[in-house]
Amino acid sequence: MKAKIEINFPDERIFLNYWNALDGDDVICEIVNDKLMLNQRDEESNELPAKEISIVEFIGMIKDRIISKF
C-alpha cells in the first residue's frame, strides 16, 4: 500500500498533509517551532485547538485511514 503526503509552503508556514480522496478524512498538520501540530475538527466540523503529535502518530493516522477502507 502507498500514500501520498504533501509538504506545502503557502507562505512562511509549512504544512504536512495527507488528503484522503475517498471520504475527505484528511490528516492536516502545520509545523510550528519544529513541532507537528494536528489540525482538529469535531463532528460538526468546528475547528478545535491544534494538538501536537509525533511523526509516528501522523503516519499511523494515515495508515489507519487507508486500512479502514478495505
DSSP 32: E
Cβ-Cβ contacts under 8 Å for 70 (sequence gap 6 or more): none
Residue 51 lies in a domain: yes
Q: Count how many residues are written for the chain.
A: 70
pLDDT digits (tens, 9 = 90+) for 16-34: 999 988 788 899 999 999 9
pLDDT reported for residue 4: 93
Domain region containing 28: 6-67
Q: Please count the structural domains in the chain.
A: 1
pLDDT digits (tens, 9 = 90+) for 37-70: 999 988 888 889 999 999 999 999 999 988 876 6
Residue 1 lies in a domain: no
